[in-house]
């Protein structure tokens, strides 16, 4: 593995992009080169980065060229973890003017050291008993300060609609009224009761919180309490905690990555980390089975090209990593399901909060509307046609349109 190379692409601007690439290659590895004596150059050569390609995109008014530069780094420079990777290819460089980290391509031998998804798409489908269609998920809305009995009622209402997953809101840290382990046990019991009634089991994704030093142990205790899935705010805690959770053999449930804090990294065209890398490739590498990201349709919409690239990074064939479920989120209502299906295909999770809880008939009817919409698009039927047999979908379309 020591002679393998990692290819890293940046979007930047300079008078001379080739010279910029060469400066990055040296500056992010051995620090200096031409001033070193020959003996020292020979010693450091195996650790030296190399300029691997330049793609000019536009000439700016100041005469600079804006474009993509690719630098090749030896794998021997890194330990097999994302903190090492991000520090080694973008740490101090991220403060060097207008430069954005666009992509990281790892050789299979290096990527094999990361856990990747434990379940992946096939495993989550197996757990939910769902095949041949997108999954449907809802989000708890109103959780902070809510009495436990109200949350139980809310969970049951969502589950009765035929959903595949129900997840906590990512802000659910102050849970004194519905403590983490207790609600896992309670919702597991309700899920079993609903399955007896409807024949459909719903997985509950509990928000894993606490000091980062305790998260692995809390996750193990959650599994013992009957957890079916865990939601992780990966970026606030750091990618490495996702890696450690996914790699632990005692944490035997899918991990769902939330994009909280991602907006601090990706929106600028000139700075930060591109979403297909940040929420796509790196989340999959670290072990997320399901990854939420802004949909191209809501009020925090992600550029559609980037969203599709992100989803492709989660699902593309890979020699060492299982695929992760893309979960385009925010602004989703039943009328958008045909567009979601056209854009992201069968292997996605249709995720909604207000689109379920805001249904005129309540959360159960909201969930039924999504299930009916998903069944319709998979069968090649229009939503209008499906709404003739589904009052819940008809009511949703009347409220949100198509």
Active site residues: 92
Q: For 162, left (φ over 0), alpha (ψ -120 to 50), or beta?
A: left
Q: Which residue has the tokens 């309540």?
A: 362
Under 8 Å CB-to-CB from 249, ≥6 apart: which residues?
A: none
Strands 271-273 and 255-258: what pairing?
unpaired
Q: For residue 64, which phi and psi values (nearest 5 degrees)?
A: -70, 155
Residue 187 CB burial class (10 angstroms; 0-12, 13-18, ≥19):
buried
Kind plus residue range of the DSSP H or E element containing 326 = strand 325-329
Kind plus residue range of the DSSP H or E element containing 218 = helix 215-224
Q: For residue 241, which phi and psi values (nearest 5 degrees)?
A: -70, -35
- Per the DSSP assignment, residues forming a β-bridge with 169 are none
What is the DSSP-derived secondary structure letter of residue 135? E
Helix (H, G, I), strand (E, B) or coil at 214: helix
Tally of residues, the chain: 402
Q: What share of the chain is helix, strand, coil (3-state, %, to 5)?
A: 45, 20, 35
What is the DSSP-derived secondary structure letter of residue 171? T
């Amino acid at each position: 593995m020591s002679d393998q190379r990692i290819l890293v692409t940046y979007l930047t601007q300079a008078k001379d992009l080739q010279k910029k690439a060469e400066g990055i290659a040296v500056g992010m590895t051995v620090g200096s080169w031409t001033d070193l004596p020959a003996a020292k150059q020979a010693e450091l050569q195996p650790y030296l980065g190399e300029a691997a390609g330049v793609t000019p995109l536009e000439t700016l008014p100041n005469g600079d060229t804006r474009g993509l530069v690719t630098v090749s780094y030896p794998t021997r420079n890194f330990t097999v973890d994302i903190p090492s990777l991000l520090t080694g290819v973008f740490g101090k460089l991220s403060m060097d003017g207008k430069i954005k980290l666009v992509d990281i391509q790892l050789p299979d031998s290096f990527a094999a050291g990361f856990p990747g998804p434990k379940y992946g798409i096939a495993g989550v489908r197996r757990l939910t008993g769902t095949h041949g269609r997108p999954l449907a998920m809802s989000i708890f809305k109103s959780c902070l300060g809510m009495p436990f009995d109200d949350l139980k009622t809310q969970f049951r209402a969502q589950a009765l609609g035929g959903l595949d997953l129900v997840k906590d809101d990512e802000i659910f840290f102050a849970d004194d009224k519905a403590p983490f382990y207790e609600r896992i046990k309670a919702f597991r019991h309700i899920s079993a009761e609903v399955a007896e009634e409807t024949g459909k089991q719903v997985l509950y994704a509990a928000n894993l919180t606490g000091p980062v030093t305790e998260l692995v142990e809390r996750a193990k205790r959650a599994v013992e309490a009957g957890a079916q899935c865990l939601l992780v705010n990966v970026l606030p805690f750091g990618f490495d905690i996702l890696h450690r959770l996914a790699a632990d053999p005692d944490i035997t449930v899918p991990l769902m990555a939330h994009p909280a804090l991602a907006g601090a990294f990706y929106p600028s065209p000139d700075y930060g980390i591109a979403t297909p890398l940040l929420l796509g490739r790196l989340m999959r590498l670290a072990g997320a089975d399901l990854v939420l990201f802004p949909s191209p349709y809501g009020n925090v919409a992600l550029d559609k090209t980037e969203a599709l690239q992100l989803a492709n990074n989660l699902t593309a064939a890979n020699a060492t990593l299982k695929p992760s479920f893309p979960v385009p989120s925010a602004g989703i209502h039943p009328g958008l399901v045909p567009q979601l299906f056209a854009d992201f295909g069968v292997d996605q999770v249709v995720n909604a909060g207000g689109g379920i809880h805001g249904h005129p008939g309540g959360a159960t009817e909201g969930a039924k509307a999504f299930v009916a919409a998903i069944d319709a698009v998979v069968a090649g039927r229009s939503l209008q046609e499906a709404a003739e047999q589904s009052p819940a979908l008809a009511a949703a379309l009347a409220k949100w349109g198509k």
